[in-house]
Structure 1
Amino acid sequence: MSDAPADPAAAPPQSVRVLNLPNALTVLRLAVVPVFAVLLLTDGGTDEAQRYWATLFFGLAIITDRYDGMIARRRGQVTEFGKLADPIADKALTGTALIGLSTLSLVAWWVTLAILVREVGVTLLRFWVIRHGVIAASRGGKAKTVVQALAIGLYILPLEGALASVRWWVMAVALLLTIVTGLDYVYRALALRRTSARAMRAADARRAAGSTGGSRSDAAA
């Protein structure tokens, strides 16, 4: 056994590496969700000051969503915890906001249900194809995320008049992108599984051919 001191630059164990900035931002986003919900629903949503505070907390949470993944990739700090917690935090924030807005009769329930079904469905698809590969976010998916966040933020704000009409159109665009990108994700998930299945069958066939060839060579020896 060597008595040499441990190298401080050596990679720490996995349990330590979970404690990093990207994961801290994800946990912070989860912690903001109940605070945001209370601010949004205070006095049945009639307290304008609380609505402004709710908008601020929602905006800060969206910013952490933008940067935690980027920081994790740039620093090489991607962890299994982050892969699991990040989408959960995203859905918790979006779901809480939409359900709260529908409870206040600001957003129709069918809109909320359509968006949540898509988001939960895509999350389940990710787990369904995870052993076959990762489906990269499309431009449409990224646009959906931005427009959806903008629409929700506009509805959280206590707007009236023309601005209230503008947010309706922004939500309509967000809903359209949500549905279209959801269907695209289903198509790509199915295509990935088919491609992966063909690749695995081809690999099995090559292994079988190789073992058969080896057996024949041994027999001829």
Structure 2
Amino acid sequence: MNPPRTGTDPIATPPAREVSAYNIANALTVARLLLVPVFVACLFAGGTGWRVAALVVFVVASVTDLLDGELARRRNLVTDFGKIADPIADKALTGAALVSLSITGELPWWVTIVILAREIGITLLRFFVINHGVIPASYGGKVKTVLQIIGIVLYVAPGVPYVLRWPVMLVAVAITVATGLDYVVRAWRLRRRAKKGE
């Protein structure tokens, strides 16, 4: 008579695969970080040619933002490095673009301050509630990101009329603020539920 089995069968259940930080998703994230100073340099170089170059760099960097997360999820390449580096790269790219456009006088400083304050504040809030749970990204948050990218592209691209780019940026600011407030409410509810469960 065979003895009863206890625990997990080491043969039937293969060990969990440890994901290396050296993967294509993280490589794209690092590439996006490296493109930030290139974008800023092109933007401040002056001239239509450099402006177009800045636009191309920004668009390429934005595309890596869409690809790295998708690849990480589809190919099971999620790592601790990626979780930290990806949002940093996102905010570095957007922040550098907004600050640069404000320095050149093309974008009002209040727009840059409002967007960056929201992004930094929500990042800090995530760390504050991390012990109570994780708040999933909302559809509004994705719309916010797309609108910010479109707004920046319209400002960086040479020759785009003010009457077109300014309304898009205003909508991006409005959605940015609205989704930020939504995140605060959801974080407060999450913390309240966690406190009740203690």
Using structure 1 for the length normalisation, give the TM-score: 0.80
Structural mapping, 1:147-166, within 5 Å: 147-160=147-160, 163-166=161-164
Report the counterpart of residue 9 of structure 2 in structure 1. none
- Please state if 1:121 is matched with 2:124: no
Structural mapping, 1:33-112, within 5 Å: 33-43=36-46, 47-112=47-112
Name the aligned partner's letter for residue 26 of structure 2.
N
Deviation at 1:131, TM superposition (A): 2.1
Deviation at 1:159, TM superposition (A): 1.8
Name the aligned partner's letter for residue 33 of structure 1.
V
Matches of 2:63 and 2:155 in 1, distance apart? 18
Q: Secondary structure at the match of 2:187?
A: helix
Q: Secondary structure at the match of 2:106?
A: coil
- Please state if 1:181 is matched with 2:160: no
Name the aligned partner's letter for residue 74 of structure 2.
R
Report the counterpart of residue 145 of structure 1 in structure 2. 145
Report the counterpart of residue 8 of structure 2 in structure 1. none
Deviation at 1:11, TM superposition (A): 6.3
Matches of 1:129 and 1:62 in 2, distance apart? 28
Deviation at 1:164, TM superposition (A): 2.6
Matches of 1:125 and 1:90 in 2, distance apart? 17
Q: How many residues align?
A: 185
Matches of 1:49 and 1:11 in 2, distance apart? 50
Q: Secondary structure at the match of 1:77?
A: coil
Deviating 4+ runs (over 2 angstroms): 9-14
Deviations 1:167-189 (A, max 9, x none): 00000100000110111111111
Matches of 2:126 and 2:27 in 1, distance apart? 23
Name the aligned partner's letter for residue 144 of structure 1.
K
Q: Secondary structure at the match of 1:186?
A: helix
Matches of 2:143 and 2:113 in 1, distance apart? 20
Alignment RMSD (CA, Å) = 1.5
Report the counterpart of residue 19 of structure 1 in structure 2. 22
Report the counterpart of residue 33 of structure 2 in structure 1. 30
> What is the percent sequence identity of the aligned residues?
52
Give ranges in structure 1 of 5+ residues lacking alignment.
1-8, 202-221
Deviation at 1:136, TM superposition (A): 1.2
Name the aligned partner's letter for residue 190 of structure 1.
W
Deviation at 1:193, TM superposition (A): 1.2
The structure with the greater share of residues assigned to helix is 1
Deviation at 1:130, TM superposition (A): 1.6
Report the counterpart of residue 4 of structure 2 in structure 1. none
121-130 or 31-40: which moved more? 121-130
Matches of 1:64 and 1:124 in 2, distance apart? 24
66-75 or 108-117: which moved more? 66-75
Using structure 2 for the length normalisation, give the TM-score: 0.89
Name the aligned partner's letter for residue 196 of structure 1.
A
Report the counterpart of residue 165 of structure 2 in structure 1. 167
The structure number with the bigger radius of gyration is 1
